[in-house]
Amino acid sequence: MVISTGFYRVAFPSFVNSSEPRCPVGYYSFQNRNYWYKVNCQMEQTYTFDDLDGLYETAENLPQVERHDVYGRNEELDEWKRVPWRDSLWTDTGELAGEVSTFEDFYNVIQYGEILDAVGRQLEHHHVEPEGRVSLSPNSHKMTAKIGLDDVIEPRDGDEVALQLHTRSGHSGYHGLTYSLGAERLVCSNGMTSFITEQSFEQTHSEPFKPQLAYHAVDSMINGADTVENRLKEAQEERLLNQDEALLVLHDLGLDRYLENPTADLVNALYTEVEDPENPSLYETYNAATYALTHLSTDVPEYVLDDGLDRAATLLDQENRVPDSAELGRNVVENRVQHLVDADNPDEEEYWEGETDSLRDLMEKHEIQA
């Protein structure tokens, strides 16, 4: 394995040449610049289960990794030497999953199966029969598990939300182990994740796996249904000025990078989720974000889509509270106005025809001076 400058990580997908297979594009960052290249087109792997026995079986079937040597090459001398401070991680299925520090003070391997097994043991303690799925990225360098907690809340009439525990980990050297509260709206299967900070937990790879943190995460989320319901009800009380402002908020979150036709898809999502276009709530705007990501994105791996859901979650959680919609809207409008002012060709930068006129109206309502 050749060690190169920069740091590799898989990012949001882009697509190169429509005639070619649609493959995620990776990038590495070096000196504050992103360099893009196509990675292999191997499909992500998905495991599903519908009860506790199925969860345990999935835990046993997930690939495990072992440490192996890393070598660097001098092309001019055609010479290879071992890099004593780095290890490569290989799965038992023969895939290279990551490249990490040799020293356990800096990196401990945490097997995906042991994470799932610990979660299962605590769910068993609560007599929960979970349904869910586990997704592995190509080469198994990232794992996402979404595990149902057998609990449904109803933040507004007819809008049922099934609570889930989401856990993520990786073997790339850049991803810690996280547990967070997730959910799925039953009316449309929109995914929801990481929208209450106090119900998110993280362990870095600098320490050996801590099953007690998994137990604590399960306890917290099973006992926290009232907190979730109250948070979603609070988000219904916060209102943006109109649907144009809601659209700007969604663009400001960076959701366009997950969509092929960003503005059209986001407008479609708002039309689906917002009851009154002149008075959209943060809850409706959040639901539009999750609808666009869950239903309108194309060929986006689940582990990448989760990054988008994390961005959307900031509409429900900033410093462990629902954001102030007036402050949020004003900041987004100011940011967008400044972007267009700085643009060489503002008309070409518009998200939609007439956006500049909409911004003038929003500036007046927010009493923003031109």
The pLDDT tens digits of the residues spanning 32-85 come to 333 333 344 457 899 999 999 999 999 999 999 999 999 999 999 999 999 999
Identify the sign of the CA torsion 353, 287, 138, 210.
positive
Identify the sign of the CA torsion 204, 210, 211, 215.
negative
- pLDDT range class, residue 191, cuts 50, 70, 90: low
Q: What does the pLDDT read at residue 328?
A: 96
Percent of the chain with pLDDT over 70: 85
Contact of 58 with 146, CB cutoff 8 Å: no
Among the listed residues 185, 181, 136, the one whose alpha carbon sits nearest the alpha carbon of residue 301:
136
Residue type, 350: E
| Three-class secondary structure of residue 269 per DSSP | helix
Residue type, 288: A
Does the pTM surpass 0.85? The reply is: no
Which residues share a beta bridge with 156? Answer: 159
Contacts 24+ apart (CB under 8 A), 5-9: 5/30, 6/30, 6/35, 7/174, 8/172, 9/172, 9/174
Q: Which residues contact 50 (CB under 8 A, 6 or more apart)?
A: 131
Burial class (CB within 10 angstroms; exposed 0-12, middle 13-18, buried 19+) of 270: buried
- pLDDT range class, residue 31, cuts 50, 70, 90: very low
- pLDDT range class, residue 288, cuts 50, 70, 90: very high
Distance from C-alpha of 335 to C-alpha of 340, rounded to nearest angstrom: 9
